[in-house]
Structure 1
Amino acid sequence: MSSTTPPSVTPAGWYPDYADPTQQRYWDGAAWTTHTAPAAVTPPQQAATAPLVNQPLQLQKSAPPAFTAAPVPSPYAAQPGTASGMSGKAKGWIIAGAVVGSLLLVGGVSNAINGGRTEPVAIAQTATQTPTATPTPVPTATVEPIAEPAAPAVVDVAAFQAGASKHTADIDKDLDDMVTTMAEGGTWRLISNTAEISFNLGQLESLDVPASIAAEWAPALVGLQTNLDTLTTAVSGGDPATIQGAMDGVRASAAVLRDIGTRAV
């Protein structure tokens, strides 16, 4: 039987069993064992005057320890193997306490010498930088500049009149060639002269027109184009009377344009 009872001064031996008085149990000097035996009759004690020569010294057996829960040993109780009755662990705590006390005492004296001054302790701080959000550019309204009215182009009136006179004269010449061709009974020259009149019409349309006659010039060009389309159709038909009537219309439109050109300023 094991026991948590701390070391005892009771010597090993047989003692009455704590559970059965008719039995005795063996105490090994530190704990009860599982060995039991019938209780024996205690032999009569020898007379007090019996000599003790050459007999081993026997210690009087004390009462067996009670089977109660062992008290928790104090940390400062005497333990086997220590000379002063104090454990090595306890001595360690005492020494450590003495060292700490000495350091505190030295620190107090140092503070007293320095007049109680304390040196500031620098505390390293890590600055946490919060990233700043990049502002989103706000589109600004684009103000369109107000367009100033363009200055009227300066037209060379003399150059316009010269061009208008030349191209209308070319139209009259082509019409005269067509009259000669019809008198001779030809047809091929009629087609080529019609193409040349169309070219002269394009030249009249490309002229820079002075503002003073622009309102009249554009409708006159449309009239010439209409009469030229009629002449082209008549030439394809081959009827002399119809061709002659269409030629008269083209000549009249050319005369109108020539007259307008002379009034340009």
Structure 2
Amino acid sequence: MTKMLPIVLVLFVATGAFAAPSVSVSQVPINEIAPAYDSGRGVTPGLLLNLWDLCDGGDTNVHILTLEQVVNDYSRLPNSYAQAQAVATILAVLGELATGVPGDACNAANAINAYASGRGGNSYLGQLAANIDLIAQLANNPEKLRYAVGQRGNCAGGGRSYQFEAAWDAILNRANPYTIGLVNEEYCTAKRLYQALNVRSNNVGAAATAAALPPVVTAVQRALGPVLAFLRAAANGNVGAAAVAAAKQALLS
């Protein structure tokens, strides 16, 4: 069945220095837009765009959209750590957006608190591996996740309270000078999601923070080959069991 979801372009035009902006909205059927180009070399904005499109745009508020743009900007950098940060973040965020009903952020919060307390933080790799299963379902049969509930853990406040500033202080202190501007932008966006009043935004903010932890990014950097092969298959809407297994094994090894 052909999708006819609209692409909405919003243009703001101010008629004076203090005038309220007017809004013009135009709709274009999505099947009239050419598919994003993926060169097959590393992480590309085209690959990421096709992956973001797997999710229902109704749950992507302005701050999640800003986070998506930061991830896309990481992918443009010829730097393997930045590429790994893009991959880690999209695995984390797509996992949070995959289910119709959000779960909690306990696994992310526990990993963040562990890292901020000097106890590692790579426990979040298990969540990224679980997200690979969700992303495969999202690509192959998204209707199965429409009424599904996200993963639930057992932690105070559902993982909505954790050592946010301490974790990001450490992330920013260890950031590559080549990527520091984007890391700072990601911090600002994650903070808005952390402070939001709805669960979906809180979960995405926690996921993005956990995905930016240096032990997590380093592990993803080492697993980039199999994980990228999986993501390309997901972007094409047809993921086989072998690609899922290889990506999960690479992450967890």
TM band (smaller chain) = under 0.3
Greater relative contact order (Cα < 8 A, sep 6+): 2
Which structure has the larger Rg over C-alpha atoms?
Answer: 1
More helix by share: 2
TM-score by length of 1: 0.21
